[in-house]
Structure 1
Amino acid sequence: MSNNMKLSTTLITLVLWLASASTADDRWTVERLQDELGVQAGWTAANELPTWSSNPTVLVSLEKPYAAGLGEAIPGIDVIEVSGVSEAMLHAPRANVILGMCDAELLDAAPNLSWVFVFHAGVESCPLTERLAEGDVVVTNFQKLASPAIGEHAIAMMLALGRGLPRFKQAMPAGEWRRDLATEPGMQVVAGRTILVAGLGGIGRQVARRAKALGMQVLATRNSSREGPTYVDYVGLPHELPELVKRADVVVDALPLTEATKGLFDGALFADFKEGAYFINIGRGGTIITDALYEALTSGRLAGAGLDVTDPEPLPTDHPLWQMPNVIITPHVSAGGFDREWLRFVIEENLRRYVAGETLLNEVDPARGY
């Protein structure tokens, strides 16, 4: 091989390596978070918080491995890694930031606190203290990061129920070739059917997008306005839910758990459902009355249900829902399989933003609870 050919080969290899390195670096960007997942910056600039510090002391729970080693990743912060709330209490008076813990006693013991990062999509387990309610301490979470996976889970449950897959699965241990199960009740296709997504947030949008791609008419409700993406045919307000469920062949509960949504799906609401509809819950178990759901299933009002969340959770082993042939239960795992690198990226990006005094990603409105 000539020297020129060797030089050319080396240059090509270098260019390809640089291109791949650039692609890897560009994979995790705020633009992707916003465009693909709908993650947005909040409304509170960190440097406007009463106890903000550009050189914060940060308490980090190591219960999640993706939170380790932040001190090396973000210059100018003093990171104290703890195993849990008990150990964190020892350092609480110094803390400006708490990552991965939201305990009432811990918050009260941290007079210099200005930011709490909850390592979940919801914040119902985070106590609404006076400082949080008044905005002196900002709260962020992981909402929307796992929404594509959860949206796929909801669609998978809908398709499995509509095709009668749970019934066929139950016949498999006995080796039974039960073609009759295809007609009891009949197998369905979703194209042309109507789906209602209750809660058009990050998860709800992912469900709606996939349902529209399958040829469904998509209805939805949201708390803030009637505005929605082009793949949603109608966006209603919460008070319209009893009327909208009458039109839906499938109802997907993608609601957060708040005072307004607690026990929302009760006997009266299930009675309004279209007869033979399917119900999917990938939101929060506390938004439904479990006994009312069971009654709607046994009466035939509902043709089936897919539940990734339950109330109580976990569902007791002797609960009759476990044995129903038209019910699919998964143990709160619908987020499984999503790209968990986003978690680390958002933690580091929010720390960078905090030190710079900027607004943070995924800020939670304490009044709304999400």
Structure 2
Amino acid sequence: MTELLLAVQPLTEQESTILINQGIEIVTPELVTYEQLKNVTISYGWSPELGNRILAESDNQLRWVQYQGAGVDLLPLAAFAERQILVTNASGVKAPQIAQTVVSYLMHFARGLHVYQEQHLWHEYEDQYTLDELPTVIFGTGKIGQKIASYLSPYGMPIYGVNSSGKQVPGFDKVFALNDLLSVWPEGIQVIINTLPDTPATHHYFNSQNHKIWGELFLLVNVGRGGTVDEKELIASLQSGRIRYAALDVTEVEPVPADSMLWQQRNLILTQHTSWANHTYPERRSGDVFRILSTNLSAYLNHEPLIENVVDLTKGY
């Protein structure tokens, strides 16, 4: 069967040549016909409009989606699972950029830059911290969590991890299981960094009930998915002082509405889902996404298990 790839994500001339040389036919969203949509076998990137049209055809040939993002909660995973459609994501592609943004959040608040940003008269602000004074827990020990840990470790701060199993991961002082934090939560934690996906197990996980486990915090960071944080309760915690500062790159509703209370919290910074950004790649697309596709392509063509960034459709990540 001829493999037909729908290039939702733009391909460079070199990338197109690589695919053509392996017998892949390419069609773009602006030129794809109705008959071609039914015969698309690979979607490079995902278009909700075109993707739903493909899935609506009972005899569609879609077999593999290489998604352009890391979080896949917006994809129709149940439909993919029912039709045994493979999904690979872009997890890790933007890890360095995201990790450096997280370091900047910590520096911003720990070194008092948020205070000096607004001051227009000389007034010394000395309530500043060095990072080794801020023991940190990173929720999610995947590629992004590991990159964050590697960037923070040289500062001498204790760094713990949380994942679904409690399996130990290099780069963390210790890793705990998500469902066992009540009995093992380390003392003195000042910073929580969330990189978790939004799944039934993690939706609104960061809420007032779980805040009781970790007590008062210096900083809560979310670079995972917006739905993992109960924003109403976050605002209440910021106003009461239970959480001193917060940095959100992701929110439940994007763009954040102009009348949202999130904008009104002076101890909260919103970076508006741009922690991935790099001026060299002004769009979300990066050649590394194609590298993941290319790495898996040989296995796919040989009807073998895919190698890299395969999404577990039942877990949602």
Smaller-chain TM-score bracket: 0.7 to 0.9
1:1-40: CA deviations, max 9, x gaps? xxxxxxxxxxxxxxxxxxxxxxxxxxxxxxxxxxxxxxxx
For residue 274 of structure 1, what is the aligned residue in structure 2? 215
For residue 246 of structure 2, what is the aligned residue in structure 1? 305
279 and 65 in structure 1: CA distance in 2 versus 1, 3 angstrom threshold: same
For residue 18 of structure 2, what is the aligned residue in structure 1? 73
Q: Is the 8 A contact 1:59 1:88 kept in 2?
A: no
**TM-score for the superposition, normalised by structure 2:** 0.87
The partner residue of 1:237 within 141, 165, 177 is 177
- Give the aligned length: 304
Equivalents in 2 of 1:128, 1:275: separation in Å?
A: 37
The partner residue of 1:227 within 168, 171, 179 is 168
Q: Is the 8 A contact 1:261 1:287 kept in 2?
A: yes
For residue 107 of structure 1, what is the aligned residue in structure 2? 55
1:203-225: CA deviations, max 9, x gaps? 11111122222101111111134
Gaps in structure 2 of 5+ consecutive residues: none
**TM-score for the superposition, normalised by structure 1:** 0.75
Q: Is the 8 A contact 2:202 2:228 kept in 1?
A: yes
Letter in 2 for 1:300: G
Equivalents in 2 of 1:212, 1:274: separation in Å?
A: 23
Q: Does 1:350 align with 2:296?
A: yes
356 and 70 in structure 1: CA distance in 2 versus 1, 3 angstrom threshold: farther
For residue 367 of structure 1, what is the aligned residue in structure 2? 314
Which aligned segments of 4 or more residues in structure 1 are displaced greater than 6 angstroms? none
Equivalents in 2 of 1:351, 1:364: separation in Å?
A: 16
Q: Does 1:178 align with 2:126?
A: no
For residue 7 of structure 2, what is the aligned residue in structure 1? 60
The partner residue of 1:82 within 26, 29, 34 is 29
Equivalents in 1 of 2:60, 2:78: separation in Å?
A: 12
Instruction: Report the Cα offset of residue 168 of structure 1.
Output: 1.1
The partner residue of 1:116 within 53, 58, 65 is 65
Instruction: Report the Cα offset of residue 245 of structure 1.
Output: 7.1
Higher relative contact order (CA 8 A, sep 6+): 1
Instruction: Report the Cα offset of residue 164 of structure 1.
Output: 1.8
Larger Rg belongs to: 1
Q: Is the 8 A contact 1:221 1:237 kept in 2?
A: yes
69 and 100 in structure 1: CA distance in 2 versus 1, 3 angstrom threshold: farther
In the TM superposition, 1:230-269 aligns within 5 A as 231-242=171-182, 244=185, 247-269=188-210
89 and 223 in structure 1: CA distance in 2 versus 1, 3 angstrom threshold: farther
Instruction: Report the Cα offset of residue 346 of structure 1.
Output: 2.4
270-279 or 91-100, larger mean C-alpha shift: 270-279
For residue 12 of structure 1, what is the aligned residue in structure 2? none
Instruction: Report the Cα offset of residue 67 of structure 1.
Output: 6.0
Q: Is the 8 A contact 1:220 1:232 kept in 2?
A: yes
Equivalents in 2 of 1:148, 1:369: separation in Å?
A: 23
User: SS at 2:17's partner residue?
Assistant: helix
Q: Is the 8 A contact 1:167 1:326 kept in 2?
A: no
User: SS at 1:91's partner residue?
Assistant: helix
Instruction: Report the Cα offset of residue 277 of structure 1.
Output: 2.3
Instruction: Report the Cα offset of residue 264 of structure 1.
Output: 0.6
Equivalents in 2 of 1:294, 1:268: separation in Å?
A: 14
Equivalents in 2 of 1:291, 1:88: separation in Å?
A: 45
Equivalents in 2 of 1:89, 1:255: separation in Å?
A: 38
Instruction: Report the Cα offset of residue 192 of structure 1.
Output: 4.2
299 and 359 in structure 1: CA distance in 2 versus 1, 3 angstrom threshold: same
Letter in 1 for 2:175: V
For residue 19 of structure 1, what is the aligned residue in structure 2? none
Equivalents in 2 of 1:88, 1:100: separation in Å?
A: 18
For residue 117 of structure 2, what is the aligned residue in structure 1? 169
Q: Is the 8 A contact 2:42 2:65 kept in 1?
A: yes
Letter in 1 for 2:44: L
- Percent sequence identity is 27
Q: Does 1:149 align with 2:94?
A: no
User: SS at 2:224's partner residue?
Assistant: coil
Q: Does 1:314 align with 2:314?
A: no
1:106-164: CA deviations, max 9, x gaps? 2232522211111111111110244x325722111111111121111111101111112
Equivalents in 2 of 1:154, 1:302: separation in Å?
A: 17
1:209-255: CA deviations, max 9, x gaps? 222221011111111342211x2111000113345276411000110
Q: Is the 8 A contact 2:165 2:178 kept in 1?
A: no
Equivalents in 1 of 2:211, 2:249: separation in Å?
A: 18
1:152-207: CA deviations, max 9, x gaps? 11111011111121121112xxx32221xx24xx1111114310001111111111
Equivalents in 1 of 2:185, 2:254: separation in Å?
A: 28
Q: Is the 8 A contact 2:5 2:42 kept in 1?
A: yes
317 and 271 in structure 1: CA distance in 2 versus 1, 3 angstrom threshold: farther
133 and 65 in structure 1: CA distance in 2 versus 1, 3 angstrom threshold: closer
129 and 303 in structure 1: CA distance in 2 versus 1, 3 angstrom threshold: closer
